[in-house]
Amino acid sequence: MATHNQFLYSLLLLLPLLITFANAQPLEAVLDINGNPIRSGIEYYISNAFRAISPPASTLALAPNRNNSCPFDVVLKQINGLPLTFSPVNKDATVRVGTDLNVKFSAATICVQSTVWKLADFDESVRKSFVSTGGVEGNPGIATVSNWFRIEKFEDRYKLVFCPGVCSNDKILCRPLCGDIGVFSDGGVRRLAVGEEPLKVYFRKA
CATH number at residue 112: 2.80.10.50
CB 179 within 8 A of CB 163: yes
Look up the domain containing 190 and give its range: 2-205
The number of domains in the chain is: 1
Contact 132, 123 (CB under 8 A): no
* 97: confidence class by pLDDT, cuts 50, 70, 90: very high
pTM of the predicted protein model: 0.84
Q: Provide the residue count of the chain.
A: 206
The model's pLDDT over 132-189, given as tens digits with 9 standing for 90+, comes to 999 999 999 888 999 999 999 999 999 999 999 888 666 666 777 799 999 999 999 9
Considering only CA atoms, which of 97, 70, 101, 65 is closest in space to residue 85? 101
Please list, in sequence order, all residues whose beta carbon lies within 8 angstroms of the beta carbon of residue 149, skipping any fewer than 6 positions away. 100, 101, 102, 103, 117, 160, 161, 162, 164, 181
| Residue burial 56-73, b: 16+ Cβ < 10 Å; e: rest | ebbbbbbbbbbeeebbbb
In tens, the pLDDT along 34-83 reads: 999 999 999 999 999 986 555 567 999 999 999 999 999 999 998 779 99
- Give me the pLDDT at residue 174, please: 74
Question: What is the predicted pLDDT for the residue at 79?
Answer: 77
CA atoms within 13 A on the CB side of 135: 29
